[in-house]
A and B are shown apart, each in its own frame.
Chain A
Amino acid sequence: MNCTEITMLAPLYLSGEMEATRAAEFKLHLEECSSCAREMEHQREFDARIREGLAEKVETTALVSRIRGRISAQRRWRQVQWLAAACAIVIAVIGWRLMIDRRVPLVCIDAAEDHRDEVIDRRHRNWTSDAAALSALAHRIGFESIDAPALAPAGYRFEHGKLCRLDGHAFVHLVYANGNGEVSIFLRPRSGATKESEAEIKGEHVASLHTDKLIVVAVTMEPGDAARRMAQRAASAGG
């Protein structure tokens, strides 16, 4: 190494980050060159003076507590933001569920609920198996008469029936069974345009059919379009 290289590499030597082989060469030059050795010594002393000269007592107590306060405030604000985000998600989920539910006619939701409570869970109700008595009940809500056995879905037999309310309107609730399960058929006379809708509500398949003369709602565990077929069959048999 020559004196020019020593001057150039001095910062690395003074900061102690020169790799071992080069540092050894550097030191060897300092041993042989009194001018460079003196220069390095002066620079070390001068650095020490700079450190002493610039080192000053820095009071940080107030600043530390100010920074801690700001960090705590930001943490609280972040928690509020997380809470708000969680609330927004909950509201969005509830809203979405409500929108989904609103797409399903209320009459279907009520029918599925009645079927579950009164047929599956067998909550006590005043059922009648007497065709004449049932026809009389049906007459009260506008039917001239009703032939419950004739409305049975294929493979099912009539069990019993009664009057009930779905979506605030009176319906005849007829129950049919085939040994493996039960089907509910709900009927109500009406006039107006025809329409159909289907839904699966908590595992029950529900189909509602509005003909020009009556409303039929069928509830069954059977999958696919069984509910719709049952409703159509009851609608055509019931007039």
Chain B
Amino acid sequence: MPSRQDEFERLAMPHLGGLLGFARRLTRDQAAAEDLVQETMLNAWHAFPRLRDGSNVHAWLFRILLNAFHAHGRKLRSAPQIVPLAEIQDRGREECCLANDIAEAVERLSEEHRTVLWLGVVEGFTCREMSEILGAPIGTIMSRISRARASLRAQFVAAAKGA
């Protein structure tokens, strides 16, 4: 019979990369993100015996991470690295869609929009799962992700027009 630690390794550890990527988006700082993920995994380890069979471990871990992030209040939030719009508008449409531009454009979104965009588009969570992770009604989640997409696209359209 596998030990508790073996089961934890098998079910939780594979999500570490996704958690770290998300934590970096939230904290905008590598060291703070690593500390946040470490705290998440230790909290998950303590709560692991209470996790029911068949639970969605992926969503469970992200919920723990967000709880830990919010528990720290503003301590983990650093100032957004704002890139002047003119800098983006100076670039051409093709260049605008490069990885760095997308990352920078996402940075300019509000924390709520950045969170749903990351969870939904990058991590592939459904609206229902995001509703559980964020503790918000599904309608709110649908509205947030639509606005996040629209806001991001508006940035690129503006940049393209300016090019």
Measured CB to CB, the residues of A under 8 A from B are 7-12, 15-17, 43, 46-47, 49-56, 58, 60, 63-64, 66-67, 70-71, 74-75
Contact with A along B121-157 (1 / 0, CB 8 A): 1100111100000000000011001100100110000
Which residue in A15, A63, A64, A66 is a CB contact (below 8 Å) of B120? A15
Measured CB to CB, the residues of B under 8 A from A are 5, 8, 13, 16-17, 20-21, 24-25, 34, 37-38, 41-42, 45, 97-103, 106, 117-118, 120-122, 125-128, 141-142, 145-146, 149, 152-153
Q: How far does the alpha carbon of A22 sit from the alpha carbon of B101 in the complex, in Å?
A: 36
Residues of B within 8 A of A52 (CB): 99, 102
Minimum CB–CB distance from A69 to chain B (whole Å) comes to 10
Q: Report the nearest A residue to B138, measured CB to CB.
A: A12
B122 touches A11 (CB 8 A): no
Q: Given A16-B126, A17-B127, A70-B38, answer yes or no on A58-B5 (Cβ-Cβ < 8 Å).
A: no
15 cross-chain CB contacts under 8 A: A11-B120, A50-B121, A50-B122, A51-B121, A51-B122, A53-B97, A54-B21, A54-B121, A56-B99, A60-B20, A63-B16, A67-B16, A67-B41, A67-B42, A70-B38
Q: Report the nearest B residue to A42, measured CB to CB.
A: B153
Residues of A within 8 A of B97 (CB): 49, 53
Number of cross-chain contacts by CB at 8 Å:
91
Minimum CB–CB distance from A79 to chain B (whole Å) comes to 13
Q: Given A8-B142, A49-B102, A50-B122, answer yes or no on A74-B20 (Cβ-Cβ < 8 Å).
A: no
Q: How far does the alpha carbon of A63 sit from the alpha carbon of B120 in the complex, in Å?
A: 25
Minimum CB–CB distance from A206 to chain B (whole Å) comes to 50
Residues of A within 8 A of B13 (CB): 64
Residues of A within 8 A of B120 (CB): 11, 15
